[in-house]
């Protein structure tokens, strides 16, 4: 699909949400002195119908993110022929690892070794390693998953040893801050942590509908966008 010209138009004047978001990502990247192609759009489809996902795929979107295994599996099965990539971004329960290891291409929300080891052992040998990001709890929120920043390096080292996984980078979601500067500072902390983890990491998964431009300014390579692409969710997601 050709999306070039849209990127140069006034993003907010574009009629469709997909074109508008693609253009806003490109604008944010250029404003940060970055190549727009260095930012991947992950369409977060939790709470959205199979038809809505199919429609976005028809516009050229390839990567989709889901938070709940039970909700995701029928979507993945129904759309299997489209060759989409599926990213698990929700809280990962140990009793759901086999489904995730079997049906997903990526996990963004790895936050403990026990779950990582299960995913690695359960990854079917016929598939490439499961691509993984470690989730970091950026603002010490008790309600959220993710490892504390001080524990990232140790978990990263352990995950690198697991043959069924390939560690790609870090994921984070800042607490809701009234001040954009505080959100941006949280993104900056994640970037610094990722750089400290080693040069083999190429993925910084950060930024959602409300703050992706700030995340791109701080180096996001993957932005996870739901409501700004699809509209409101059918049921509360997180």
Note the residues at the interface with ligand PLP (CB under 6 A).
44, 46, 67, 89, 173, 208-210, 224-228, 237-238
CA proximity to 130, closest of 108, 151, 155: 108
Q: Hey, which residues does 47 pair with through a beta bridge? A: none
Integer Cα distance of 139 and 159 in angstroms: 23
Least distance (Å) between residue 163 CB and ligand PLP: 26
The DSSP secondary-structure symbol of 176 reads: P
Closer CB to ligand PLP, 59 or 209, in the complex: 209
Least distance (Å) between residue 48 CB and ligand PLP: 10
Q: Hey, which residues does 87 pair with through a beta bridge? A: 65, 106
Provide the sign of the torsion angle of the four alpha carbons 157, 158, 159, 164, taken in this order: positive
Least distance (Å) between residue 146 CB and ligand PLP: 10
In the bound state, the residue with its beta carbon closest to ligand PLP is 226
Residue 33 burial (C-beta neighbours within 10 Å; 0-12, 13-18, 19+)? exposed
Closer CB to ligand PLP, 115 or 225, in the complex: 225
Closer CB to ligand PLP, 43 or 201, in the complex: 43
Least distance (Å) between residue 237 CB and ligand PLP: 4
Count of all residues that appear for the chain in the document: 238
Closer CB to ligand PLP, 121 or 182, in the complex: 182
């Amino acid at each position: 699909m050709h999306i070039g010209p849209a990127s140069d138009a006034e993003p907010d004047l574009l009629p469709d949400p997909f074109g508008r978001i693609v253009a806003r990502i490109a604008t944010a990247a250029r404003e940060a002195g970055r190549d727009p192609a260095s930012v991947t759009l992950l369409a977060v489809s939790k709470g959205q119908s199979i038809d809505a996902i199919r429609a976005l795929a028809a516009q050229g979107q390839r990567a989709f993110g889901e938070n709940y295994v039970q909700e995701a599996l029928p979507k993945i099965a129904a759309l299997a022929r489209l060759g989409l990539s599926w990213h698990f971004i929700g809280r990962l329960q140990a009793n759901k690892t086999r489904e995730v290891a079997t049906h997903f291409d990526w996990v963004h929300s790895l936050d403990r070794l026990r779950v990582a080891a299960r995913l690695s052992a359960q990854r079917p040998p016929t598939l490439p390693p499961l691509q993984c990001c470690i989730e970091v709890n950026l603002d010490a929120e008790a309600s959220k998953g993710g490892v504390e920043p001080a524990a990232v390096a140790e978990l990263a080292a352990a995950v690198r040893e697991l043959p069924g996984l390939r560690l790609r980078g870090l994921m984070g979601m800042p607490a809701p801050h009234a001040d954009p500067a505080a959100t941006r500072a949280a993104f900056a902390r994640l970037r610094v942590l990722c750089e400290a983890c080693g040069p083999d990491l190429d993925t910084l998964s950060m930024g959602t509908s409300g703050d992706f431009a700030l995340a791109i300014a701080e180096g996001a390579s993957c932005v996870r966008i739901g409501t700004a692409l699809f509209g409101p969710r059918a049921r509360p997601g997180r």
